[in-house]
């Protein structure tokens, strides 16, 4: 499998989606499991890449911190609506929360009692999960599309895997990656983004335009990604492989830094 993927390099800036990419999809967002070995792998990669590793997720950054504790990582949350450029830096909120709060009230009033539909309120975005009410998918899409049409709020609808996300149209996972790449730690490196869903396409576009690598978990058909990984377990195995390759390159490099 590794032969079909780009060879890991110490010059990489690595961006990782979480649900469906690093972690297996669960019945609801609170049920995902982080394998303890993954924390060790991410810590090793962060150090081998000189800190140039970040999570880029639809989850809020506070939720990511709880999920990956005690590991702290640079992170972008809520599809680019918030960002923390260093592991222990401040969280910057990049959009006005007022439009999403107003939309949240309308959603709670109209579909808050729909059986099997989970409304995840994240502060700067809203996720409506229908994994337990798949028959509601078409009605939810129509309702949310009509809501956005009626209320010109600067929000947009993202359709993911059995989930709809309402978020600001001003930010994306792509804008978050571009922001990271302008910082001292990430600048000048080769950007690599691994994601699994339609919500990751703008991240793929950002790294492609910067001459980097885009890896999609699942089929490549219809995606901007240039490489494919089968499933989250394979992503985790590939990251373990990346640790071994980059560490070995560093040991064999006669230069003091071990970074070419």
Range of the domain at 123: 98-168
Among the candidates 109, 139, 168, a domain finishes at 168
54 and 151 in a single domain? The answer is no
What amino acid positions are annotated as catalytic residues? Answer: 17
Task: Give the range with max mean pLDDT: 135-139, 214-218, 252-256.
Answer: 214-218
- What are the Cα distances from residue 98, in Å, to 92, 103, 168? 16, 9, 11
80 and 190 in a single domain? The answer is yes
12 and 85 in a single domain? The answer is yes
Q: Quick one: pLDDT at residue 258?
A: 38
Query: Looking at residue 103, which CATH number applies to its domain?
Result: 3.30.70.1020
80 and 176 in a single domain? The answer is yes
Q: Determine the average pLDDT of the residues in 156-173.
A: 92
Domain-embedded: residue 42: yes
Model pLDDT for residues 17-39, shown as the tens digit of each residue: 999 999 998 877 888 999 999 99
C-alpha 36/C-alpha 39 separation (Å) is 6
Model pLDDT for residues 190-218, shown as the tens digit of each residue: 999 999 988 999 999 999 999 999 999 99
Which residues have CB under 8 Å from 227's CB, separation 6+? 4, 5, 6, 213, 214, 215, 216, 220
**DSSP SS3 for 195:** strand
- Say how many domains are in the chain: 2
105 and 50 in a single domain? The answer is no
Q: Is the pLDDT of residue 257 over 80?
A: no
Dmax of the chain from CA atoms? 64
78 and 128 in a single domain? The answer is no
Mean pLDDT of the chain: 92
**DSSP SS3 for 74:** strand
String of DSSP letters for 9-21: -TTEEEEE--BTT
Q: Quick one: pLDDT at residue 2?
A: 63
C-alpha 258/C-alpha 260 separation (Å) is 7
- Give the strands of the sheet with 163-168, arranged side by side: 118-121, 126-129, 163-168, 155-160
Among the candidates 142, 168, 194, a domain finishes at 168
The residue length of the chain stands at 260
Phi, psi torsion values for 72, nearest 5 degrees? -110, 130
Query: Looking at residue 65, which CATH number applies to its domain?
Result: 3.40.50.1000
Which of 196, 184, 191, 183 has the alpha carbon at shortest distance from 235? 196
């Amino acid at each position: 499998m590794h032969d079909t993927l780009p060879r890991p390099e110490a010059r990489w800036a690595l961006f990782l989606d979480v649900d469906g990419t690093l972690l297996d999809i669960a019945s609801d967002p609170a049920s995902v499991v982080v394998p303890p070995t993954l924390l060790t792998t991410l810590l090793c990669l962060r150090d081998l890449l000189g800190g140039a590793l970040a999570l880029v997720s639809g989850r809020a950054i506070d939720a990511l911190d709880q999920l990956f504790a005690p590991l702290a990582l640079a992170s972008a949350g809520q599809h680019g609506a918030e960002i923390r450029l260093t592991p222990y830096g401040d969280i910057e909120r990049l959009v006005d929360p007022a439009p999403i709060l107003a939309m949240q009230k309308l959603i709670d009033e109209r579909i808050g009692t729909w059986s099997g539909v989970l409304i995840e309120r994240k502060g700067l975005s809203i996720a409506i999960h229908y994994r337990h009410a798949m028959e509601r998918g078409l009605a939810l899409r129509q309702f949310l599309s009509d809501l956005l049409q009626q209320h010109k709020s600067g929000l947009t609808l993202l359709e993911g895997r059995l989930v709809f996300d309402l978020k600001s149209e001003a930010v994306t996972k792509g804008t978050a990656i571009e922001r990271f790449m302008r910082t001292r730690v990430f600048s000048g490196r080769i950007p690599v983004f691994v994601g699994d869903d339609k919500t990751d396409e703008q991240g793929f576009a950002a790294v492609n335009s910067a001459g980097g690598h885009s890896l999609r978990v699942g089929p490549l058909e219809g995606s901007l990604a240039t490489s494919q990984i089968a499933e989250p377990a394979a992503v985790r195995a590939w990251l373990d492989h990346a640790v071994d390759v980059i560490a070995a390159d560093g040991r064999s490099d006669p230069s003091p830094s071990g970074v070419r």
